[in-house]
Chains A and B, each alone.
Chain A
Amino acid sequence: MACKNPLLQKVYETGFALDEIALYLDTHPADKQAMEYYQYIQKANQDAVSAYEQSYGPLLINQVNSNTWTWANSPWPWEGGM
């Protein structure tokens, strides 16, 4: 499913790929190809998260990069529109 915000869509896609490859690596730690994919998607996810955070505020509590407490701003994930 596509979400309306393309920056957030990238966070969902790369975040999911990261979750999936991490579980695979847990039981296949010696798979070199999987490890390379992890490194590729790790970078893609970091880029997607920072691009989103720059426009819409922090996804992680240690990424509040302003002088005001933007962490508490709506929308919260369960409210929809994200």
Chain B
Amino acid sequence: MWRYEKRLQYPVNISQTNPKLAQFIISQYGGPDGESAASMRYLSQRYAMPYDKGKAILTDIGTEELAHWEIIAAIVHQLTRNLTPQEIEESGFGPYYIDHTTGIWPQAAGGIPFNACEFQSKGDPITDLFEDLAAEQKARTTYDNILRMVKDHDVCDPIRFLREREIVHFQRFGEALRDVQDHLDSRNFYAFNPAFDPGQKPCGCKKNQ
């Protein structure tokens, strides 16, 4: 279960609205490599993780990603406060505004709605951890792309924090992967799925006598 701590993991205090930027940044709320996909990916993958280190890291990074999801929402919310219809029209925020006013809704920068197909939970710890390592890198790339578009320090600052966290998470998932591999056959780490057929190959057929 979870309990809310009534603060952000990192402060967001934006004085200058910027709806155009909000439309870019919302991709980390509901886009393909966004924080919601990250949180659901890790929290869903926990159930197929046989080893304690992996269970702990998936739980705790999955939880931290929820806090990042909230930081992104706070940034988008503060970038779109008190907009006038004229600002909405001139900034290109119109299509989003028509459907959601200035409410927060999970979509990618290009308007595609959040979809669970954006992450995998494959029931195989090696497969899942490789997915997670790639996911952290993709999120970091997205933050790099966002940072090239941002000039306002109030926005840069929390985005830089989030970018740094992707790097730390990549490191921790790498360590979790190493731990999973330590439990496996060192001549063939991918010989079987430790979540489903512990200690044996997945083939059910009998050898010819």
Chain A residue at smallest Cβ distance from B52: A29
Known: A22-B60, A60-B3. A3 touches B9 (CB 8 A): no
Chain A residue at smallest Cβ distance from B173: A27
A77→B64 contact, CB < 8 A: no
State A3–B154 Cα separation when bound (angstroms): 12
Q: Please encode chain B, from 57 to 74, with 1 for each CB lying within 8 Å of some chain A CB and 0 for all others.
A: 100110010000010011
Q: Please encode chain B, from 1 to 24, with 1 for each CB lying within 8 Å of some chain A CB and 0 for all others.
A: 001111111111110000000000
* Residue from the list A12, A23, A78, A82 in contact with B61, Cβ < 8 A: A23
* Residue from the list A16, A29, A77 in contact with B6, Cβ < 8 A: A77
A residues contacting the other copy or chain, number (CB 8 A): 29
Residues on B lying within 8 angstroms of A by beta carbon are 3-14, 53, 56-57, 60-61, 64, 70, 73-74, 77-78, 157-158, 168-169, 172, 175-176, 179
Q: Known pairs A60-B5, A60-B6, A80-B74. 12 more at Cβ < 8 A?
A: A8-B7, A11-B7, A12-B10, A12-B11, A22-B60, A23-B61, A23-B64, A26-B176, A60-B3, A77-B70, A78-B8, A79-B77
A-B contact pairs, 26 of them (CB 8 A): A1-B157, A3-B13, A11-B7, A12-B10, A15-B7, A15-B9, A19-B9, A22-B60, A26-B57, A26-B60, A26-B172, A27-B56, A27-B175, A59-B5, A60-B6, A61-B4, A77-B7, A77-B8, A77-B70, A77-B74, A78-B12, A78-B70, A78-B77, A80-B12, A80-B13, A80-B74
